[in-house]
């Protein structure tokens, strides 16, 4: 693991359980050197205060820890911080936390013992995943509470998830013949400080939002054809005066999916100007792309590889640096809020196109895309679900990063709330994926009524529609729509990369990522 990871590498390592991680020789030497310097400094300067090593934490930083109580202090620190509440996090998110903690600790700056770090790596490789409650972190001194629950399992006192059940870590360790960690001086704070909860959520948000951005373009293109929209809005000329790289890339991709003139339907004439949800799609998509590629991805990649602990031990200089701000989650907090806002817009414009597909005003499309309205409701209620998800995303888009609350008797008086923002952004990503899945459902159903022919103007759209249609038969009469929506959500959420690959193979296109 010598090279820096981007969010795609990060997510792959968390999800691919066949991939194992370990330390190289350089990292082993760095971890050992850091530990030795920590021990040497404490021994040579027994009267000097070193935060959370021989002192209390937070507002108790002036309380000294007796030398004979160091080991007891380590466990006390872990146990007292393990006060999270709420449902357990998804296993892949916890694996992301573990991976980020490992990335942090292997830098040889924290003073962790090699054996402790190797045990955390072993847990990751053996799929021994701690049960971590979802709520409690302020994103202040990093993600103290969630990381405490990971650390609690490490010392054999916590819970882990095995085969979908939450059981005692000690029983799993016994079964695997693994000795729990017995922490020494300074190891508890090394394990607790960090931004691992926020980083994990935001890495997964980034990976999914990147795929979603381009699938949303595909769904919009299907809707445009179904609504007999005017693709001239996306031609290169209207973008000539644009200074927005995202808008230009979006318009180019949409234009590539569509023809300059969409296939005419019967004798109907195309509108001079389409509704905003159609013709302004590059503006909205472009803003989303700029948020992703210009802010979210760089910040997340930086934080994946950034050291976010306190104190810092500089082995080469034989010194400890205390009281720095590595663990504060402000940049992640504001990034999570920006992503949630962008997702609210992406889902919102998708829902508006869904409504236009269903409202019965477009020539050739019956209300709610059913031939027998009344007896059958068609896709009417699917829009309700999309509208509910859009409303929820607007609520989730209210920024968390502006809501600091002072804690630790005022010692930690400005916190980022990044953990709340990151968790909400993850929910907003999934909500937006559902809305885009519903647009795919409605657009492909509408195209059935258009009797989409394979001609020069739709040679790319028709095979894309076929890719979606192969999952679902045409809706000829009412059926349980939840099943259809879940199938297409899985297409977007679980298999989005494969779907885009199939789209590119069918159309000869690729995403213009390098242009954003």
Q: Where are the alpha helices (DSSP H) in 227-311?
A: 245-257, 276-279, 281-291, 297-305
Chain mean position to CA 384: 26
Task: Write out the H or E segment, with its range, that includes residue 144.
Answer: helix 144-154
501 Cβ contact partners less than 8 Å away, ≥ 6 residues apart:
none
Q: Cβ of 402: how many Cβ atoms within 10 Å?
A: 10
**Strand partners for 130:** 160
The tokens for 407 are: 């804690």
Query: What DSSP state is assigned to residue 74?
Result: H
d(CA 426, CA 430): 7
137 close to 99: Cβ distance less than 8 angstroms:
no
219 Cβ contact partners less than 8 Å away, ≥ 6 residues apart:
350, 353, 436, 439, 440, 443
User: Angle at Cα 153 formed by Cα 152 and Cα 158, nearest 5°?
Assistant: 70
**Rg value, the chain, Cα:** 26
Q: Active-site residue 276, yes or no? A: no
The length of the chain in residues reads 516
What is the SS3 assignment for 461-508? HHHHHHHHHCCCCCCCCCCCHHHHHHHHHHHHHCCHHHHHHHHHHHHC
d(CA 441, CA 270): 24
Name the nearest CA neighbour of 334 among 298, 287, 308, 306. 298
Backbone angles phi, psi at 510, to 5 degrees: -150, 160
What share of residues in the chain are helix, strand, coil (percent, to 5)?
A: 60, 5, 35
d(CA 302, CA 276): 36
310 close to 191: Cβ distance less than 8 angstroms:
no
The tokens for 509 are: 């296109």
Q: Looking at 51, 276, 293, 434, which residue is catalytic?
A: 51
In our burial notation (b when 16+ CB lie closer than 10 A, e otherwise), range 372-390 reads eeeebebbbebbebbbebb
Residue 52, sorted as left (phi over 0), alpha (psi -120 to 50) or beta, turns out to be: left
Q: Which residues are catalytic?
A: 51
């Amino acid at each position: 693991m010598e090279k820096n990871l981007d969010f795609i590498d990060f997510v792959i390592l968390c999800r691919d359980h066949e991939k194992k991680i370990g330390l190289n020789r350089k990292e082993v030497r760095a971890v050992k050197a850091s530990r030795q310097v920590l021990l040497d400094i404490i021994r040579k300067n027994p009267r000097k205060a070193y935060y959370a090593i021989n002192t209390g934490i937070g507002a108790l930083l002036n309380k000294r820890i007796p030398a004979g109580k160091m080991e007891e202090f380590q466990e006390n620190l872990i146990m007292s911080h393990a006060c999270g509440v709420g449902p357990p996090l998804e296993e892949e998110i916890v694996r992301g936390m573990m991976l980020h903690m490992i990335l942090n600790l292997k830098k040889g700056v924290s003073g962790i013992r090699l054996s402790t770090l190797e045990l955390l790596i072993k847990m990751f490789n053996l799929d021994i995943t701690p049960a971590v409650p979802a709520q409690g972190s302020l994103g202040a001194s990093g993600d103290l509470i969630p990381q405490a629950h990971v650390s609690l399992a490490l010392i054999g006192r916590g819970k882990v998830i095995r085969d979908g059940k939450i059981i005692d870590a000690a029983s799993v360790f016994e079964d695997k013949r693994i000795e729990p960690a017995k922490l020494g001086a300074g190891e508890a704070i090394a394990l607790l400080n960090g931004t691992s909860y926020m980083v994990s959520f935001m890495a997964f948000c980034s990976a999914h939002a990147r795929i979603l951005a381009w699938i949303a373009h595909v769904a919009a293109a299907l809707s445009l054809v179904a609504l007999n929209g005017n693709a001239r809005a996306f031609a290169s000329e209207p973008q000539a005066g644009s200074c927005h790289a995202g808008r230009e890339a979006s318009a180019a991709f949409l234009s590539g999916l569509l023809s300059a003139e969409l296939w005419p339907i019967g004798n109907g004439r195309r509108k001079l100007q389409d509704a905003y949800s159609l013709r302004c799609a590059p503006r909205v998509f472009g803003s989303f792309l700029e948020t992703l590629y210009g802010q979210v991805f760089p910040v997340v990649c930086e934080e994946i590889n950034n050291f976010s602990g306190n104190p810092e031990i500089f082995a080469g200089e034989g010194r400890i640096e205390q009281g720095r701000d590595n663990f504060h989650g402000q940049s992640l907090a504001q990034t999570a809020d920006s992503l949630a806002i962008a997702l609210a817009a992406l889902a919102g414009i998708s829902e508006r196109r869904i409504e236009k597909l269903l409202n019965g005003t477009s020539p050739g499309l019956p209300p709610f895309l059913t031939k027998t309205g009344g007896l059958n409701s068609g896709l009417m209620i699917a829009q309700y679900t999309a509208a509910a998800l859009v409303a929820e995303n607007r609520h989730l888009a209210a920024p968390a990063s502006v809501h600091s609350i002072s804690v630790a008797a005022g010692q930690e008086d400005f916190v980022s709330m990044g953990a709340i923002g990151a968790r909400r952004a993850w929910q907003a990503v999934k909500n937006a994926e559902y809305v885009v899945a519903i647009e795919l459902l409605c657009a492909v159903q509408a195209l059935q009524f258009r009797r989409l022919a394979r001609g020069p103007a739709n040679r790319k759209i028709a095979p894309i529609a076929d890719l979606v249609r192969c999952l679902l038969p045409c809706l000829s009469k009412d059926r349980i729509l939840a099943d259809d929506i879940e199938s297409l959500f899985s297409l977007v959420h679980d298999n989005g990369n494969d779907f885009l690959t199939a789209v590119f193979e069918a159309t000869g296109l690729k995403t213009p990522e390098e242009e954003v």
